Structure 1
Amino acid sequence: MKKQCFLYTCIVLLAASLLNGCKKLIEIGPPKDQLASNSVFLDSTTAEAAMIGLYASVANPNPGNDLGTSVTMFNSMSADETYAYAMNYYDDFTNNSLTPMIYYVDGLWSTMYKNVYIANSVITGMAESPLSESYKQRAAGEARFLRALCYFYLVNEYGAVPLVLSTDVNSTTTQPRDNVDAVYDQIERDLTDAQKVLPATLDIYGGMRIRATTWAADAFLARVYLYRGKWQLAESMATAVINNPGMFSMNDSLNQVFLANNKEGILQFVNGISSSWIANNFVPSSFSTTPKFVINDSLYNNFEPGDRRKTSWVGYKSYGGINYPYPAKYRYMAGVGAVEYNQVLRLTEQFLIRAEARTQQSNYIQAAADLNSVRLRAGLSNTKANDKATLMAAIEHERRIEFFCEWGHRWLDLKRLPGINNPAISRADEVLSQLKGGQWQSTDVLYPIPQSAINSNRNLDQNKGYF
């Protein structure tokens, strides 16, 4: 008990020390207590507390929403998944009418750069620490993994962003935006570096799936390679994860997919406030008349007859004689304990990554087999797709249903995929212009750079379409 209290105190002190240097992200002066920050890494107990503090910063909804909940909520409205019921403050996402002054846009940017700063602090602190080389390398690898995660969402939500890799805030207060390829190159470097030093088993984490392993790096690299069109590498990384059935397997029951430490999970985040902060946002309480977020008809009607995911992952709230469907992948709300963990990476994605990568390499038979692995679990028959065009359409559909309201997958897919009827435009233009009409503009694929960041850094420019 004393050790737990000490660790908690260390986390609080560490956060107070590090966050002095990131309250305003890349626009503020250096930490006031640099010595205190450095001294954290002289002792194994406080150094480990620093790592726990980094995960807590990424995963916990304090004071707002954690990263996973934020991108899940915001991106589901920006795309074609949900709309907020009777919550006007979210209408700008649904209507794709965001401005640089929107609090939530600023908060998402701030959350990710805060975590980047803490990760940089851990990487720097470990390099100068007297602790064992094996521990320092592993801890720095975890920090690089989490930095890559934040930059992945920064570059996908905002486009070109400043690539901040140090804790020397004075040198970054005027840093311009780095191009998208440069950010992705750094994401790949961080993940490949982490891949070499992260543990290959869960033993060191007590069998829990709540911290990064080499398999998490493999799985995330598979996604990054897919997004960058590196098909063979994407297939290779996904295969490495799939071919480890001792650690990972798809749950037969869809109701188990989001439970803590289930074998489908490659990496899960622990929410320190309640069982699942996503459930607290999506699942209506017994006192609610309607859900906070309602599933769009375009998504709801896209489920095939007999799809078990509709039965297991969609809830209903009746009001005024209407059953409003809402996302119910996570069901356990505050006060029930750690029943569910936030699935950051799960095995099913690796099958669909490999299916897409194989399709792009004209390996249609094996691509269909991967797709069918996911469909079988959902209670569906084998796909009839058998060439590039039909398989790509089938994979997009499967990703839409499998990952709805989950870490922004649909929003990011719409932006990265070419149009089916017109490959010269994105699927976002093709789909959302039909769904949202004049509310949609091509420039809406990127969120605006927060005005507060531009005001503080004269070298930051705004995304097109915003003023």
Structure 2
Amino acid sequence: MKKLIFITIALVMFMGCDDQLDLTNPNEPTAETFWETESDAVRASYAMYNGLIMDGTYMRMIPALTDGRSDGFKADTPWPDLWQTAAFNVPATSGPVEWVWREHYVLIYRTNQVLEYVPEMEIDEALKERVIGQAHFLRGLAYFNLANNFHRVPISDALPEPEEFNEPTASEEDLWQQIIDDFSAAKDRLPVSYENVDGPDQGQVGRATAGAATGMLGKAYLYREQWQDAADEFELLMDGNSPMAIYSLVDDYRHNFNVNNENNEESLFEVQFASPDEVGGSDMNYCCEPNSNWMQVSSQAYTYAAEGYGYSDFLPTQWLYDEFNKEQTVSGNKDPRLIDTIVSYEPSENSTTVYGDPWPYGQDEIYPRKYTNEGLPQPELREQSGINYRVLRFADIYLMYAEAQNELNDQATAAQYMQRVRDRANLPDRVAEFSGYTQEEMREQIVHERALEFAIEGQRIHDMIRWGWFDESSPRYKVPELRQRDSEFDSWDTGDEYLPIPQRELDVNPNLEPNPANN
């Protein structure tokens, strides 16, 4: 089985219904009839993973609304919600913003169903632990995305009673503790791989593993500036004596962003999309409850595709292009990640075509290549892509470990792990030079390295926020510099780095607080 395909199933759970309406449809499962067999537990896990491939999660809006707010990407779209988000003036009534909120809570609800019912099932204990671990991982991932995009949100850690639907906004500390607790619980329950497990999930690539949970736990610690805790988790993934130290960098950087070599040795966790030819269905998976008509495909490739080959809703900024050109490889060529990230006219790098056609643009025009079908033997020019979305890969572990070590004042170790990522790009060995950097100089180098390695991967805006670039009281405040790179930052005001809490949610939940972007 090449990868786990998320079978869409309809799980209808009736809770607290009035007796007069307590009707039973023999063709639909209920909470009383569904949670019985190992097959039921595995089917419930499919429903959880299905929450990752909706429009408000990774099918389109998490990539679009995160990349769009970075200094390396700018809007080139007629869709107001997208260019308003990229320009930091998106209204609280924005449909895409509401979809991100809604579908992450759909995912959380499904994980809470599993955590409510699976522990009581009389099934194989090892399988039970794996399913519970995956629920914790996916709930932790959902809250990680919500915290980074909305700052503070309600915590729903159990199936609510009817009178408990209006959850209050949680404190920032409680929200991040929930994330850490979920990833910790997942780490303790998940296998290193599913290759040799005994059960119906045996061999299913794409499920959350102990390595994925450990990596995300370390990332959560890093975001909370718990440097030693973060380093300890990352070391488990790199220490040869650890059973989780099974990851490495792939030779071909672009194999991380197209359909070739998915779920490779660099991938700790990726969202599984199928090409239209692999699964049935006729509708894009835009919202909420799964149904048999959904196609389990991504819209990102067509959304980001160059002018004339897709929507071209975003363009790389000139700053990002120039950043790639700051340093040549040891053989005197351009950083190969430039060609893998950006469609640009580069005769010296044998890059003078686009989607197999002769270069149709001005020689100074640039477009996205990463996560698009450009460069594939038979590129798909339709809004249906099977390219998996890589949530966490091993290069991130190296660079986050370098960052943690720098904050722990060990610049020499930071330099070694930073160079490991540079080595794949064939960049000069500068370990000796970097080891002599001050902590602040190393911070700036890590900023540069992360900008190139993770461009157009939904990481940059979250890095910018956690580094204090939007905080006028921080010594790392950089909004004036960002405005020079990307004019979309001209309309930024304090708090606008986050997405606003959807107005519809504020209207129906009196316990929900607006966030800084609502002001």
Using structure 1 for the length normalisation, give the TM-score: 0.87
Do the aligned partners of residues 242 and 324 (structure 1) sit closer, same or farther apart at CA in structure 2, a change above 3 Å counting? farther
**Residue deviations 1:37-60, cap 9 Å, x none?**
3532211112211101211221x2
1:104 maps to which of 91, 96, 113: 96
The CA deviation at 1:325 is 2.2
| Count of equivalent residues | 445
The CA deviation at 1:222 is 1.0
Specify the alignment match of 1:396 in structure 2.
447
**Residue deviations 1:134-160, cap 9 Å, x none?**
222210110110000000111111111
Could you tell me which amino acid in structure 2 is paired with residue 76 of structure 1? D
1:223 maps to which of 214, 219, 225: 219
Do the aligned partners of residues 403 and 170 (structure 1) sit closer, same or farther apart at CA in structure 2, a change above 3 Å counting? same
Where do residues 50-129 of structure 1 align in structure 2 (5 Å cutoff)? 50-58=44-52, 60-61=53-54, 64=55, 66-67=57-58, 69-89=60-80, 90-129=82-121
Specify the alignment match of 1:155 in structure 2.
147
Report if aligned partners of 1:404, 1:410 keep a CA contact under 8 Å in 2: yes
The CA deviation at 1:448 is 0.9
The CA deviation at 1:388 is 0.5
Structure 1 stretches (4+) deviating beyond 6 angstroms? 30-35, 335-339, 420-423
SS at match of 1:444: coil
**Residue deviations 1:85-144, cap 9 Å, x none?**
242421101211011111111111001111001110111110221222222221011011
Whole-Å Cα distance in 2 between the matches of residues 185 and 179 of structure 1? 10
1:413 maps to which of 451, 460, 463: 463
The CA deviation at 1:411 is 0.2
Q: Which runs of 5+ in 1 are unaligned?
A: 22-29
1:387 maps to which of 408, 432, 438: 438
Whole-Å Cα distance in 2 between the matches of residues 455 and 374 of structure 1? 47
Could you tell me which amino acid in structure 2 is paired with residue 387 of structure 1? T
Whole-Å Cα distance in 2 between the matches of residues 286 and 463 of structure 1? 38
Whole-Å Cα distance in 2 between the matches of residues 86 and 340 of structure 1? 22
Q: Does 1:354 align with 2:404?
A: no
SS at match of 2:518: coil
SS at match of 1:174: coil
Specify the alignment match of 1:447 in structure 2.
499
Specify the alignment match of 2:347 in structure 1.
none
Whole-Å Cα distance in 2 between the matches of residues 122 and 366 of structure 1? 42
Whole-Å Cα distance in 2 between the matches of residues 128 and 382 of structure 1? 55
The CA deviation at 1:280 is 2.6
**Residue deviations 1:334-392, cap 9 Å, x none?**
59999742211110000001000000111111100000001111121134332201111
The CA deviation at 1:262 is 1.2
Do the aligned partners of residues 419 and 284 (structure 1) sit closer, same or farther apart at CA in structure 2, a change above 3 Å counting? closer
Deviates most, 351-360 or 73-82: 73-82
Report if aligned partners of 2:77, 2:314 keep a CA contact under 8 Å in 1: no
Specify the alignment match of 2:316 in structure 1.
295
Where do residues 316-327 of structure 1 align in structure 2 (5 Å cutoff)? 316=344, 321-327=362-368
Q: Does 1:49 align with 2:48?
A: no
Specify the alignment match of 1:25 in structure 2.
none
**Residue deviations 1:227-263, cap 9 Å, x none?**
1111111111111112358731101111322331211
Whole-Å Cα distance in 1 between the matches of residues 271 and 145 of structure 2? 16
2:423 maps to which of 367, 373, 376: 376
Whole-Å Cα distance in 2 between the matches of residues 31 and 287 of structure 1? 51
Do the aligned partners of residues 206 and 327 (structure 1) sit closer, same or farther apart at CA in structure 2, a change above 3 Å counting? farther
**Residue deviations 1:155-212, cap 9 Å, x none?**
1111111000111252432221001110110111111111111012231455554111
Q: Does 1:343 align with 2:390?
A: yes
SS at match of 1:12: coil
The CA deviation at 1:327 is 2.5
Could you tell me which amino acid in structure 1 is paired with residue 417 of structure 2? D
Report if aligned partners of 1:67, 1:108 keep a CA contact under 8 Å in 2: no
The CA deviation at 1:68 is 6.3
SS at match of 1:266: strand
Could you tell me which amino acid in structure 2 is paired with residue 13 of structure 1? A
Do the aligned partners of residues 338 and 453 (structure 1) sit closer, same or farther apart at CA in structure 2, a change above 3 Å counting? closer
SS at match of 2:68: helix
Do the aligned partners of residues 413 and 287 (structure 1) sit closer, same or farther apart at CA in structure 2, a change above 3 Å counting? closer
Whole-Å Cα distance in 2 between the matches of residues 341 and 45 of structure 1? 26
Structure ranking higher in helix proportion? 1
The CA deviation at 1:466 is 2.4
Where do residues 197-212 of structure 1 align in structure 2 (5 Å cutoff)? 197-203=189-195, 204=197, 207=203, 209-212=205-208
Could you tell me which amino acid in structure 1 is paired with residue 438 of structure 2? D
Whole-Å Cα distance in 1 between the matches of residues 299 and 63 of structure 2? 11
Do the aligned partners of residues 298 and 423 (structure 1) sit closer, same or farther apart at CA in structure 2, a change above 3 Å counting? farther
Do the aligned partners of residues 451 and 417 (structure 1) sit closer, same or farther apart at CA in structure 2, a change above 3 Å counting? same
Report if aligned partners of 2:267, 2:392 keep a CA contact under 8 Å in 1: yes
Report if aligned partners of 2:274, 2:386 keep a CA contact under 8 Å in 1: no
Specify the alignment match of 1:310 in structure 2.
338
Could you tell me which amino acid in structure 1 is paired with residue 504 of structure 2? S
Specify the alignment match of 1:266 in structure 2.
268
Report if aligned partners of 1:419, 1:430 keep a CA contact under 8 Å in 2: no
Identity of aligned residues (%): 24
Specify the alignment match of 1:27 in structure 2.
none
The CA deviation at 1:320 is 5.4
Report if aligned partners of 2:498, 2:517 keep a CA contact under 8 Å in 1: no
Q: Which runs of 5+ in 2 are unaligned?
A: 16-21, 277-296, 329-333, 345-353, 374-378
Deviates most, 291-300 or 150-159: 291-300
Whole-Å Cα distance in 1 between the matches of residues 309 and 406 of structure 2? 48
Whole-Å Cα distance in 1 between the matches of residues 88 and 246 of structure 2? 41
Using structure 2 for the length normalisation, give the TM-score: 0.78
1:39 maps to which of 33, 45, 62: 33
1:178 maps to which of 170, 184, 188: 170
Could you tell me which amino acid in structure 1 is paired with residue 451 of structure 2? R
Report if aligned partners of 1:175, 1:459 keep a CA contact under 8 Å in 2: yes
Could you tell me which amino acid in structure 1 is paired with residue 185 of structure 2? D
Whole-Å Cα distance in 1 between the matches of residues 34 and 502 of structure 2? 32
1:190 maps to which of 162, 182, 185: 182
SS at match of 2:9: helix
Report if aligned partners of 2:398, 2:417 keep a CA contact under 8 Å in 1: yes
Deviates most, 217-226 or 123-132: 123-132
Specify the alignment match of 1:26 in structure 2.
none
Q: Does 1:363 align with 2:410?
A: yes
Could you tell me which amino acid in structure 2 is paired with residue 456 of structure 1? V
Report if aligned partners of 2:58, 2:389 keep a CA contact under 8 Å in 1: no
Whole-Å Cα distance in 1 between the matches of residues 99 and 471 of structure 2? 36
Report if aligned partners of 1:151, 1:183 keep a CA contact under 8 Å in 2: yes
Report if aligned partners of 1:120, 1:165 keep a CA contact under 8 Å in 2: yes
